[in-house]
């Protein structure tokens, strides 16, 4: 057990249809105001929980970063989950800012980390007009950044659960404006000025669930807009590995590869970004 970390699990923040969703907080115990990271789990908006950051949370907190891992509503529980799932993420950000004095956090040094569907919403936090001003750094890991494209590629026969339609409630053809508004790539393409946040986009080249061209096209669009961006490609890496879950052996701890390779690069990025 790391004595340099204060772990507080299942803290209600008001998210979800019943207002009873929770978040996990991992706090450095050292003095001073700490930079903070909102961490958003993956799972195609259908599954997963904030507990998937149970390896990264203590690791980052021991190195001076407060971690707030968020449980948000899932479309397997309430479909469509949008726009409520976005309300949950925004509510968690508001909670973090409101609790910053009590938790000894610096609200001017906020970043976000997300994997897969969580990477989608982490990027959205840096691009949506209501939240972008708060976010200084974004780490996206094998994220879904082009929502219309991922709707197309997850149609049968490739997948039968139609995750994007379950999220949005309608197909892309029925709700083009909503899809594009909730799509980080489309948000970036519409920017008139460079985004304020710094970005680190991490992805593997053997991802059979979210093709690495999702990351590559976001990187290209961000560079085209003059963003401060780092791109980390992990040869041979697939999906799931960034976060931990007991029921999925593809998920890895921070001290396992590919996270062993990613961790020092991620820390250098956060030191520069926050």
Give me the domains of the chain, ranges plus CATH numbers: 5-273 (3.40.50.1820)
For residue 1, pLDDT over 70 is answered with no
Distance CA 13, CA 90 (A): 11
Q: Using DSSP bridges, classify how beta strands 5-15 and 66-70 pair: parallel, antiparallel or unpaired.
A: unpaired
The C-alpha angle 37, 209, 186, rounded to 5 degrees, equals: 60
Distance CA 21, CA 106 (A): 24
- Share of residues in the chain with pLDDT > 70 (%): 99
138 phi, psi to nearest 5 deg:
-130, 130
Closest CA to 124 of 92, 163, 153, 101: 92
Return mean pLDDT, the chain: 97
Give me the residues paired with residue 115 across strands: 141
Predicted TM-score (pTM) of the model is: 0.97
The number of beta carbons lying within 10 Å of the beta carbon of residue 138 is 29
Distance CA 37, CA 67 (A): 5
Under DSSP, is residue 170 helix (H, G, I), strand (E, B) or coil?
coil
221 phi, psi to nearest 5 deg:
-65, -40
> What are the residues whose beta carbons fall under 8 Å from the beta carbon of 7, sequence distance 6 or more?
24, 25, 26, 27, 57, 58, 61
Token readout for 135 is 């976010």
pLDDT confidence tier of residue 38, bands split at 50, 70 and 90: very high
For residue 160, pLDDT over 80 is answered with yes
For residue 2, pLDDT over 90 is answered with no
Average pLDDT, integer, range 215-219: 98
Average pLDDT, integer, range 82-87: 98
Q: Is the peptide bond before 80 cis (omega within 30 degrees of 0)?
A: yes
Distance CA 222, CA 189 (A): 8
């Amino acid at each position: 057990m790391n004595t340099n970390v204060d772990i507080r699990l299942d803290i209600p923040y008001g998210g979800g249809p019943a207002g009873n969703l929770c978040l996990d907080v991992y706090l450095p115990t050292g003095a001073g105001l700490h930079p903070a990271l909102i961490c958003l789990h993956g799972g195609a908006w259908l599954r997963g929980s904030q507990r998937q950051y149970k390896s990264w949370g203590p690791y980052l907190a021991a190195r001076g970063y407060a971690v707030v891992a968020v449980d948000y509503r899932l479309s397997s529980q309430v479909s469509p989950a949008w726009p409520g799932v976005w309300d949950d993420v925004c509510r968690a950000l508001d909670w973090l800012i409101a609790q910053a004095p009590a938790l000894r956090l610096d609200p001017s040094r906020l970043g976000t980390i997300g994997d897969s569907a969580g990477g989608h919403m982490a990027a959205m936090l840096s691009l949506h007009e209501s939240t972008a001003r708060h976010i200084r750094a974004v780490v996206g890991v094998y994220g879904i950044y082009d929502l219309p494209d991922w709707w197309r590629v997850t149609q049968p026969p490739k997948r039968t659960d139609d995750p994007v339609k379950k999220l949005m409630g309608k197909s892309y053809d029925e709700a083009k404006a909503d899809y594009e508004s909730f799509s980080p790539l489309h948000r970036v393409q519409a920017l008139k000025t460079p985004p304020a946040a710094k970005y680190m986009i991490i992805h593997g080249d053997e991802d059979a669930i979210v093709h690495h061209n999702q990351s590559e096209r976001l990187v290209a669009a961000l560079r085209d807009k003059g963003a401060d961006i780092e791109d980390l490609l992990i040869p041979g890496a697939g999906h799931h590995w960034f976060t931990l879950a007991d029921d999925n052996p593809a998920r890895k701890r921070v001290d396992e590869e590919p996270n062993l390779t990613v961790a020092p690069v991620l820390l250098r990025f956060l030191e520069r970004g926050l």
